[in-house]
Structure 1
Amino acid sequence: MKFTGNILTFGNNSLSHGPYIIIPDDIVQEMLKITTDKRVKCTLNNTITVSRAMTLKDNFYYLLLNKEVLKKSNSTIGGNVIVELQPDTSKYGIDITEEMEEVLFSDPEGDNLFQKLTPGMQRSLIYMINKIKTSQLRIERSFVILEHLKKNKGKVNSELLQQDFKDYRNRMKF
């Protein structure tokens, strides 16, 4: 489903932040009929496709964006953008790197703990890996995440996870 949206911002005094696009009500109603969890694939200006959630605020639904997405779609705050939505049918509601998939496959205990996390936490961890540019570092960080889950009985502690990343890198230095 396609529409033209305006890129807005919530401003600094709101709990929400960042640029966003309001989804027209008729599009929301149609998407809610074909998606079970409000997760969508959003293509902007026919240039970039990202996974997003249709989020409700007050009496409207919106898609939250970021500076990187705006740049890649050649869009700016206050400008118009062509938006195409389709249901996100991926397993996690976000694309997962091949490296992380392989690490999950190679570690059944870690994979089991990962599968027990909330969908939002799974997406957060996957996003953490997705933004890494090198394959080797994506593999290393994926292993560290699974070791962190095993060490913490399936729980994620963000501060400890960051320390685990640092500790791993320090151990790997020659």
Structure 2
Amino acid sequence: MKFQGKIDSFAENNLGHGPYIEIPEDVYKELLKTTIDKRVKCTLNNTITVSRAMAPKGNFHYILLNKEVLKEIKINVGDAVLVELQPDESKYGMPISEEMEEVLFSDPDGSNLFHKLTPGVQRTLIHVINKFKSSNLKIERSFVILEHLKKNKGKIDFKLLQEDFKNYRNNMKF
């Protein structure tokens, strides 16, 4: 579904602060009929496609963006933008790197624990991996995540996970 939107921004310190696009109510209601968990692929100005959730705020719904997306397509808060939303039918609600898929495939116990996590936590961990450009770092971090899950009986403690990343790196130095 396509519509003309406007980049707006929540004031700092509000829940969900930052740039966003309000979704017209008729578009939101139509997408609700076809999305599983309000996850959509959002294409802006026919240029960039990002996976996002349709989120509520008061009496409207929106797609939260970030400064990197705005910078990539050279738009600012206040600018008009062509928006196309379609249901995100991917397994995780966002793209997963080949490296993380391979690590999951190669570690059935870790993969089993990963797939017992809530979809939101899975997406958060996938995002942690996807932000790296280096294939080696993606593999390393994926491995550390699965080891963290096994060590903590399937639970994620993000503070301890950061320590695990750091400790792994420190133990790899010669």
- Give the shorter-chain TM-score range: over 0.9
Q: For structure 2, which runs of at least 5 residues remain unmatched after alignment?
A: none
1:54 partner SS:
strand
Q: Structure 1: how far apart are the matches of 2:31 and 2:53?
A: 11
- What's 1:34 paired with? 34
- What's 2:2 paired with? 2
- What's 1:24 paired with? 24
Q: For structure 1, which runs of at least 5 residues remain unmatched after alignment?
A: none
1:74 partner SS:
coil
Residues 142-153 of structure 1 mapped to structure 2, 5 A cutoff: 142-153=142-153
The CA RMSD measured in Å over matched residues stands at 0.7
Contact 1:47 1:72 in 2 (8 A): no
Q: TM-score, normalised by structure 2?
A: 0.98
Whichever residue aligns with residue 12 of structure 2, its letter is N
- Post-superposition offset of 1:101: 0.3
Identity %: 70
- What's 2:12 paired with? 12
- What's 2:59 paired with? 59
1:62-105 deviation digits (Å, cap 9, x = unpaired):
00000011111221111111100110000000100000000000
- What's 1:160 paired with? 160
Q: Which runs of 4+ in 1 moved over 2 A?
A: none
- What's 2:94 paired with? 94
Contact 2:16 2:64 in 1 (8 A): no
- Post-superposition offset of 1:29: 1.1
2:33 partner SS:
helix
Whichever residue aligns with residue 41 of structure 1, its letter is K
The size of the alignment, in residue pairs, is: 174
Whichever residue aligns with residue 54 of structure 1, its letter is M
Contact 2:10 2:18 in 1 (8 A): yes
Q: Structure 2: how far apart are the matches of 1:63 and 1:40?
A: 9
